[in-house]
Amino acid sequence: MNANLEELRTKLDTVNKELLRLLNERAEVVQAIGEIKEKQGVPKFDPVRERKMLDELTALNPGPFRDASIKHIFKEIFKASLNLQEEDHKRQLLVSRKKQPENTIIDVKGNLIGGSAQVMIAGPCSVESYEQLRTVAAALKEAGIKVMRGGAFKPRTSPYDFQGLGVEGLKMLKEVADEFGLATISEIVHPGHIELAEQYIDVIQIGARNMQNFELLKAAGEAKIPVLLKRGIAATLEEFVHAAEYIVVKGNTQVMLIERGIRTYEKWTRNTLDISAVPLLKQETHLPVLVDVTHSTGRKDILLPCAKAALAAGADGIMVEVHPDPQTALSDAAQQLDIPQFQQLWEGMRNSGLFTE
């Protein structure tokens, strides 16, 4: 009896090995099909093909496995095959860490982003006046912060809201940044403004609402300066990564990602800060990953713990909005820090031991 069991098990071992070989032989064919699909740009998942194979296999099924079991087993094989094709696709993305294991480090006027040190980016939501910019720039300089943000083209929810100073705003940003020795980041919303941006600013921001504005992404891919790409308000990480790929594939490899909160049912914050995005994006891509604590929370009272969480999760930098007199700000008045609040946040971040300068 025992000898018989042993014998049967030995037989199964041989069958298992044969199945293993066949499964991997099948997987190689699946990968070859995946490559063709990738080139043709057709979807990997093909339910019609899967149904046809299941019908054929159940029609041929001699048993003793029931048709339902055969279907179940093959569906699992199809699922694993699809995963394989999708993994191969991800591996091929230029932004993928599988394609480039080492971090992309971006040089913004001598400030390295994505390396061993973190970056703090601060400044007003919108550029409003020279006086406003100079007050912020002086505070940043005093704090040792090197990169200033400021919006000139403002994509606002309402057309009646302040739309930004446009090119004038970019010029003001440059003038003040040069005066204080700062680098600048500002949002560009039109593909035709990319060249203009190169003249006045150091980093082009592509805003959350434009994350899938593909013509803008392509134009940013032709730019000679780095791009800070914000996650869309309802974008999955898969969509976010592919948006970055649009820029990189055009030749601009200097792309940084920034998590800025996603829309959920939660009302106590403006958006929900998706902390898991930080380690996931670091794992899946080689690009620097930053966190915008201001727009994700839309509040001023929880910025320090959120910034610390972002740094602990591996973020390469933090972005925050600062205004000399937030109450009179022409945009995002409720969430911008005044200068003393900003100094307090900055001190808290530096004392946390999580921020490496």
Distance between CA atoms of residues 67 and 74, nearest Å: 11
Q: Does residue 52 touch ligand PRE according to CB under 6 A? A: no
Q: Kindly tell me which of 50 and 179 has the beta carbon lying closer to ligand PRE.
A: 50
Per CB under 5 A, contacts with Mn ion among 98-127 are: 125
Give residue 93's identity as a one-letter amino acid code.
L
38 vs 239, beta carbon nearer ligand PRE: 38
**What type of residue sits at position 263?**
R
Q: Which amino acid is at 222?
A: E
Quick one: what does residue 81 bind among Mn ion, ligand PRE, none, with the CB cut-off 5 to 8 Å set by partner type? ligand PRE
Among Mn ion, ligand PRE, none, partner that 332 touches (CB below 5 to 8 angstroms by kind):
Mn ion
From the list ligand PRE, Mn ion, none, partner contacted by residue 38 (C-beta under 5 to 8 A by kind):
none
Q: From Mn ion, ligand PRE, none, which one binds at residue 304 (CB under 5 to 8 Å depending on kind)?
A: none
Query: Quick one: which segment of 24-32, 74-82, 104-112, 324-332 binds Mn ion (CB under 5 A)?
Result: 324-332
Give dist(CA 148, CA 120) in Å, integer.
Answer: 9
**Among residues 9, 11, 21, 49, which is the contact residue for ligand PRE, using CB under 6 A?**
49
Choose from ligand PRE, Mn ion, none: what does 49 bind? Cβ within 5-8 Å by kind.
Answer: ligand PRE
Scan residues 70-89 and list those touching ligand PRE (CB under 6 A): 78, 81-82
* Stretch near Mn ion under the rule CB under 5 A, chosen from 56-64, 238-246, 285-293, 325-333: 325-333
- Cα distance between residue 114 and residue 354, in whole Å: 15
Does 143 help bind ligand PRE (rule: CB under 6 A)? no
Among residues 183, 174, 19, the alpha carbon closest in space to that of 111 is found at: 183
Number of residues that bind Mn ion (CB under 5 A): 2
What does 82 bind: ligand PRE, Mn ion, none (CB cut-off 5 to 8 Å by kind)?
ligand PRE
CB of 351 to ligand PRE, least distance (A): 53
Q: Which of residues 18-37 bind ligand PRE (CB under 6 A)?
A: 30, 33
Question: Rounded CA gap, 147 and 140, in Å?
Answer: 8
Query: Measured between alpha carbons, how far is 8 from 132 in angstroms, rounded to an integer?
Result: 83
Structure tokens at 249: 């594939």
Q: Which two structure tokens, joined as six digits, stand for 58? A: 């159940």
Q: Tell me the pairing of strands 317-321 and 289-292.
A: parallel
Q: For 224-255, give one letter per residue: b (16+ CB within 10 A) or e.
A: ebbbbbbbbeebebeebbbbbbbbbeeebbbb
* Binding residues for Mn ion restricted to 326-355, rule: CB under 5 A: 332
Question: Which is nearest to 333 in space by CA: 321, 319, 345?
Answer: 321
Given the rule CB under 5 A, which residues bind Mn ion? 125, 332
